[in-house]
Amino acid sequence: MFLGIDCGTQGTKALILDADTGQVLGQGSAQHHMISGANGRREQDTGEWLTAFEQATAQALASAGIDGQQILGIGVSGQQHGLVLLDKNGQVLRPAKLWCDTESTEQNDRLLASLGGAAGSLQRLGLAIAPGYTVSKLLWTREQHPELFEQIAHILLPHDYLNFWLTGLARAEYGDASGTGYFNVREQNWDLALLRQIDPSGRLEAALPKLIESHEAVGTIRPGIAARLGINPHAVVASGGGDNMMGAIGTDNIHPGTITMSLGSSGTVYAFTDQPLVLAEPAVATFCSSSGGWLPLICTMNLTNVTTAVRDLLHLDIAGFNQAVATAPIGAEGVLMLPFLNGERVPALPHATGSVLGLNATNLTPANLCRAAVEGTTFGLRYGLDLLREGGLQSRVIRLIGGGAKSAVWRQMVADIMDTPVVCTEQTEAAALGAAIQAAWCASQGQQSLTQICQRCVRLDISTQTQPDPIRAAAYESVYRRYRQQL
Which among 206, 184, 180 is positioned nearest to 97, based on CA atoms?
180
**Separation of first and last alpha carbons in the chain:** 49
Torsion region of 240: left, alpha or beta (phi above 0 gives left; psi -120 to 50 gives alpha): left
Query: CA distances (Å), 203 to each of 142, 159, 173, 208, 268, in order?
Result: 11, 22, 21, 9, 33
On whether the CB atoms of residues 406 and 425 are closer than 8 A, the answer is no
| 364 alpha-carbon distance from chain centroid | 34
Q: Quick check: is 20 catalytic?
A: no
**Catalytic residue, candidates 6, 18, 243, 416:** 243
Which among 21, 89, 100, 58 is positioned nearest to 350, based on CA atoms?
100
Rounded CA gap, 95 and 412, in Å? 39
Longest CA span, the chain:
66
Q: Is 463 exposed, middle or buried (0-12, 13-18, 19+ CB in 10 A)?
A: exposed
Rounded CA gap, 483 and 383, in Å? 10
Report residue 322: phi and psi, to 5°. -60, -40
Residues noted as catalytic: 243
